[in-house]
Amino acid sequence: MSEHQEVASKEKYGMVIDLDKCTGCGACTVACLSENNHYVREDESDKLHSVTWMKVYKVTNGEPFPNTKVAFIPRPCMHCDHHTPCVSVCPVMATDYNPLTGIVSQIYTRCIGCRYCVGACPYHARYFNWWDPVWPEGMHKLLNPDMSPRMRGVAEKCSFCNHRLQKAKDKAYVEGRKELKDGEYVTACAEACPTRAITFGNMKDPESAIAKLIKSPGAFRLLEKLGTQPKVYYLSNESWIRELGDNALGRKKRGGLA
């Protein structure tokens, strides 16, 4: 599946994250954990064992004190539009690119756990579930019925809260509408963000907020040179952040993960 079939769809969902607004608080991460039924292990302070679909990376410009600056790059799944690396390598079609919405799926009941996709993803957006999901006594009550928890031995990743799209569509259908209004379908992270740094919406709808934002002069995507055409855009007026976004390591002496 190297090239996605172009279909006449009026929808293509994407996300814009304004890094100048992001304060790295992690409300997006918690909203995602809660929305998508993540279990929590007792040793979550060991980051090698931690699954976080929406991970907030802290980066620094690397300048010595007192010219140091830090910034945060929230990293959901990029839902790559072109040569989607994980889709290309999956041997069992447990992940596919939905030409109607542009969303890249992950089907846990189909996944065989080979982890080829985890290795293929240039954004580290995919995680492997090493353990049985366990909720302590009583904690299972907070599980979201719209989202399936994952079993041991499968790869998992951000779905752009696809279940929220399904629900929003249902509501529209019952009201006799076929198309969604801007803002009817947003991801849990965008909904939570206290600085309103995350904008989510239909990039093909010229009236949507996101369609305007992705044309901003400060817009960029991560590792654009790979040609994966991520549907997650970032905004920043800081050139050092934009440079980091395209992995300027080697060209630049300083800066990187804090």
Partner 1 sequence: MSEEHVPTGGREGGHKQASGGLGMLAAGFVVAIVVGWLLYPAIVMSSKPQPINFNHKAHGAEGAGLACDGCHTFREDGSFAGIPKLDNCIQCHESAQGESPDEAKLVEQYITPNKEIPWLSYSYQPLCVFFSHAAHVKMAQLECTTCHEDMSKSSSSPPVKVYRISGYSKNTMSMEACEDCHAQKGTSNACFVCHK
Partner 2 sequence: MKLDRRGFLKFAVGGAIGTLATPIPWDLIDESAKFTDLWAPEPAKGPSSFVHSTCRLCPGGCGITLRLVEDKSGRDEWRGWHHKEFIQRRRLPAVPLRAVKIAGNPDHPVNRGGICPLGAAGLQLLYGTNRVTTPLKRTNPRGEGEAAWEKITWDEALNIVNGKLREIREAGNPHTVACILDNKKGLTAELIDRFFRAYGSPNVITMPSQEDVETVGLSLMQGTGGPLAYDLENSKYVLSFGAALLEGWGAPVHNMMVFGKWQEANEHTLVQIEPNCSITASKADKWLAVKPGAEAALALGMANVIVTEGLYDRSGIARCQGFEGFKALLESEYNPRKVSEITGIPAAVIATTARAFAVTKPAVAVYGRGQGVMSGNLAEFMSIYSLNALVGSIGARGGVVMQREVPFKAWPALATDAVALQGLSQPRIDGEGGEIKHGVSMAHNLTAALKSGAVNALVVHEANPCYALPRARKFEEAVAKVPFVLALTSCMNETARSADIVLPVASYLERLEDVTSAARVPYASMSLTRPVLANVPEARHPGDVFLTLARAMGGSVGSSLPWDNFEALLKEKVGGIFASRRGRIGDQEVAMLGSSDELWEGLNAGKCWYEEPIFGGGGLTFNPQGRTPRLEPVSWMKASREYPMLLVAYENINIANRRAVDTLPYLTKNIDNTVLQKHDLLVRVNPETAGRLRLVEGDAATVQCPSGRLSVRVHMDVGMMPDVIGIPLGLGHSNDDPFLTGKGVNAYEVLEPELDPVTGLAVWWGTRAKLIKV
Considering only residues 101, 202, 208, 228, which one is a binding residue for partner 1 as defined by CB under 8 A? 101
84 binds partner 1 (CB under 8 A): no
**CB of 50 or CB of 88, closer to partner 2:** 50
* 97, HSE (Cβ side, Cα atoms, 13 Å): 27
Residue 99 contact partner, candidates partner 2, partner 1, none, CB within 5 to 8 A by sort of partner = partner 1
Are the C-beta atoms of residues 143 and 34 closer than 8 Å to each other?
no
To the nearest whole angstrom, how small is the minimum distance from the Cβ of residue 100 to partner 2? 25
Site string for partner 1, 138-157 (x = CB under 8 A): --------xxxx--------
Site stretch for partner 1 (CB under 8 A), options 17-25, 105-113, 114-122, 192-200? 105-113
**Which listed option, partner 2, partner 1, none, makes contact with residue 228 (CB within 5 to 8 Å by class)?**
none
Q: Which of 52, 98, 105, 159 binds partner 2 (CB under 8 A)?
A: 52
Q: Is 178 in the site for partner 1 (CB under 8 A)?
A: yes
Which residue from 2, 3, 45, 174 is in contact with partner 2, where contact means CB under 8 A?
45
**Residue 9 contacts partner 2 per CB under 8 A:** no
Report the partner that residue 65 touches, choosing among partner 1, partner 2, none (CB closer than 5 to 8 A by kind): partner 2
Question: From CA 56, how far away is CA 195, in angstroms rounded?
Answer: 15
Binds 193: which of partner 2, partner 1, none (CB < 5-8 Å by kind): partner 2
Residue 60 touches partner 2, criterion: CB under 8 A = yes
| DSSP 8-state secondary structure symbol assigned to residue 49 | G
Structure tokens of 47?
Answer: 């980051």
Question: Shortest CA distance to 233 belongs to which of 10, 22, 40, 78?
Answer: 78
Per CB under 8 A, 217 contacts partner 2: no
Q: How far is CA 8 from CA 38, 39, 62, 98, 99, in A?
A: 35, 39, 46, 12, 9
Does 108 interact with partner 1 (rule: CB under 8 A)? Answer: yes
Give the sheet arrangement for strand 256-257, strand by strand.
70-75, 55-60, 256-257
Q: Which of 46, 176, 217, 225 binds partner 2 (CB under 8 A)?
A: 46
Q: Which residues of 31-46 are buried (b: 16+ CB within 10 A; e: fewer)?
A: bbbebbbbbeeeeeee
For residue 28, CA distances in Å to 24, 76, 190, 250 come to 9, 10, 7, 31
Distance between CA atoms of residues 54 and 58, nearest Å: 13
Q: Write down the H helix ranges in the chain.
A: 27-35, 85-89, 116-120, 162-174, 188-192, 209-213, 239-245
Mark residues 160-199: x for contact with partner 2 by CB under 8 A, - for none.
----------------------------x--xxxxxxx--
